Amino acid sequence: MHFRCRLDGRKGRLLVDPRLDGPVFLDRSGNTTALTRGGEPLDATVTTLNRASVEKVGLRYRTPEGRVLRLGLATHDARTLGAWLGEQTRTAPTAARRLPLPTAPPWAVLSLAVSLFVGLVAADVALLGTHTTAEVIRVNHDDDSCTVGWDGGSQRTAVDCDTTHSRPGDPIPIVALPWPFLGEAVDTRTTPLAVAVVGGGLGLLGLTGALVVSPLVCARRIRLARRADPAVPGPPAAGEEESADGWPRFTDDLSYAGLTAAARHGDRHRPGPKVTLPRRGSGRTSVSPRAWVVATVLGTGAWYLLLLSCAAILDDHFHLGHWRFLVLGTVAIVSLARIGWFAVDRAALCGPVIRTVRSSAADAAWQPMRYVRLCRDPGEMVLVLFRPEGGDGTAPLFLQPISRSRGSGRRTIGGPAPVGEALVRDTGAGPLICEIDGIRYLPNGRATRAATDLALTRSQLRSFAESHVRPDGRS
């Protein structure tokens, strides 16, 4: 397998190939890093990108030599790779050789999928359509089509034809389309040729990518890995050092002191609604648990595409004809698939979160932490959590987005004070529950562990804090 990943912040490919002695990471600069199996996967943290639309897993792996590596992987690859790296290597009898099945690149998979879709539509028309002979009623020289009629003239539509030799009254073979395109028809000469060219060309392109391009690219990576020099671990970049206990250190304004000043300045000068305590009141959650479950499970933007596509199918405002069933129907199916995937993924969070919210505050699992609350847009908040001990230069441990709630004042949004202390408990499913002044704030996604990906943590912190930073020269 050759799949994309990050190793200690470097982009590249992790090569798990029988032509190599073991797993090798090949970065974009052409340097290699060998990964020794038989170590210990320390932890895996889910990181959310692009406002919860994309996720990846940060895996920390300790090699048998004691070196800790940080891998950024796709969600479906992390568990398999972590278990495989943790297995002890042992000799086994040589198995029978099998033809390696290469992994097709995304563009090849897309080409094959579109080719399959075109083939299914063509088979549906060929098998379920009605082959009949129509009569040419009118020849349209402007768009090279003919208006034909069949079933005694009760059915009429325009089909492609040879306008040079066609005359009104001439017979022409057609295929009357099945449901949901009743009343439409296609010719038997031009349309099958166009479908064969489009479907066959895309299918040939996909097969070429899967069976020719992908093996060649994999072989090239193997040659580069064999010729490349081992990567020499360099010193940590400025502002991204790591302490002895494994936590990151930031030497710039993204430490506790810098974020505290940014949060307080933002509350005083940031335009838009102010932040007040949630309307739910002390001793309860920031939002209704039932409303939070519904918003968590169904809160995806794919609903807008689904509603727009369904409305456009029912009301042909743009005069797309029967093509709207193909185009907009595909959009609706993809939107439904997205909604289903999002609901299944987020439903796994609801049970652990609700059980944690209902747990007793006297439980030892609740740990004290310091926090800084930042706002990016009205109602979009994140709690940056720090260790309870430490000075102004302490680095953040977690970034936990919290759900939007109504404030106790008019035209305000609900949230905690910009800086303070919180009781934090891990739900075990990714989100953290934070209790501040007796109010438990429900999450708006999984938490981000700062030590997993320092570059990503820095980017997220700056995206939230940049609107809070005081301009130069302002008192």
Give per-residue pLDDT as tens, 211-231.
888 778 888 888 888 777 666
Q: What pLDDT is recorded for position 363?
A: 75
Residues 255 and 176 in one domain: no
**Better-scored residue on pLDDT, 28 or 456:** 28
**pLDDT reading at 474 higher than 50:** no
Residues 119 and 42 in one domain: no
Residue 210 lies in a domain: no
Residue after which a domain boundary falls, among 176, 195, 214: 195
DSSP 154: T
Residues 267 and 341 in one domain: yes
Cα 234 from chain centre? 31
Residues 73 and 181 in one domain: no
> Which of these ranges, 154-163, 239-248, 375-384, 422-431, has the smallest mean pLDDT?
239-248
**Are the CB atoms for 359 and 425 separated by under 8 Å?**
yes
Query: Could you give the number of structural domains in the chain?
Result: 3
Q: What pLDDT is recorded for position 232?
A: 53
Residue 215 lies in a domain: no
Q: What pLDDT is recorded for position 418?
A: 92
Residue 474 lies in a domain: no
Residues 295 and 410 in one domain: yes
Residue 274 lies in a domain: yes
Residues 295 and 397 in one domain: yes
**pLDDT reading at 426 higher than 80:** yes
CA pair distance 320, 302, nearest whole angstrom: 23
Residues 120 and 13 in one domain: no
Which residues contact residue 246 at a Cβ distance below 8 angstroms, ignoring those fewer than 6 apart? Answer: 68, 451
Q: What band does 237 get if pLDDT is binned at 50, 70 and 90? A: very low
Q: What band does 282 get if pLDDT is binned at 50, 70 and 90? A: low
pLDDT digits (tens, 9 = 90+) for 140-176: 888 888 999 998 878 899 998 888 888 998 999 999 9
Residue after which a domain boundary falls, among 180, 195, 210: 195
Residues 182 and 279 in one domain: no
Q: What pLDDT is recorded for position 239?
A: 42
Q: Which residues are paired to 455 by β-bridges?
A: none
**What is the pLDDT averaged over residues 269-296?**
82
Q: For residue 413, give the nearest of 290, 286, 261 by alpha carbon.
A: 286
Q: For residue 128, give the nearest of 206, 68, 182, 62 by alpha carbon.
A: 182
Residue after which a domain boundary falls, among 195, 230, 263: 195
Token readout for 348 is 């796994």
Residues 294 and 368 in one domain: yes
Q: How many Cα atoms sit within 13 Å of 385 on the Cβ side?
A: 25
Residues 48 and 174 in one domain: no
Q: What percent of the chain has pLDDT over 70?
A: 81
Q: What band does 368 get if pLDDT is binned at 50, 70 and 90? A: very high
Q: What band does 245 get if pLDDT is binned at 50, 70 and 90? A: very low
CA pair distance 294, 407, nearest whole angstrom: 20
**Are the CB atoms for 374 and 465 separated by under 8 Å?**
yes
Q: What pLDDT is recorded for position 376?
A: 82
Domain that holds residue 54: 2-86
**pLDDT reading at 470 higher than 70:** no
Q: What pLDDT is recorded for position 103?
A: 63
Q: What is the pTM of this model?
A: 0.56
Residue 91 lies in a domain: no
**pLDDT reading at 109 higher than 50:** yes
Q: What pLDDT is recorded for position 389?
A: 86
Number of H helices, E strands in the chain: 9, 23
Q: What pLDDT is recorded for position 204?
A: 92
Q: What pLDDT is recorded for position 240?
A: 43
Residues 65 and 156 in one domain: no
pLDDT digits (tens, 9 = 90+) for 80-90: 777 777 776 65
The CATH number of the domain where 162 resides is what? 2.40.50.140
How do the residues of the chain divide into helix, strand and coil, expressed in percent and rounded to 5? 35, 30, 40
**pLDDT reading at 371 higher than 70:** yes
Residue 99 lies in a domain: no
Residues 292 and 175 in one domain: no
**pLDDT reading at 326 higher than 80:** no
Residue 254 lies in a domain: yes
The CATH number of the domain where 19 resides is what? 2.30.29.30
Q: What is the mean pLDDT of the chain?
A: 79
CA pair distance 49, 448, nearest whole angstrom: 10
**pLDDT reading at 64 higher than 60:** yes
Q: What pLDDT is recorded for position 261?
A: 85
Residue 131 lies in a domain: yes
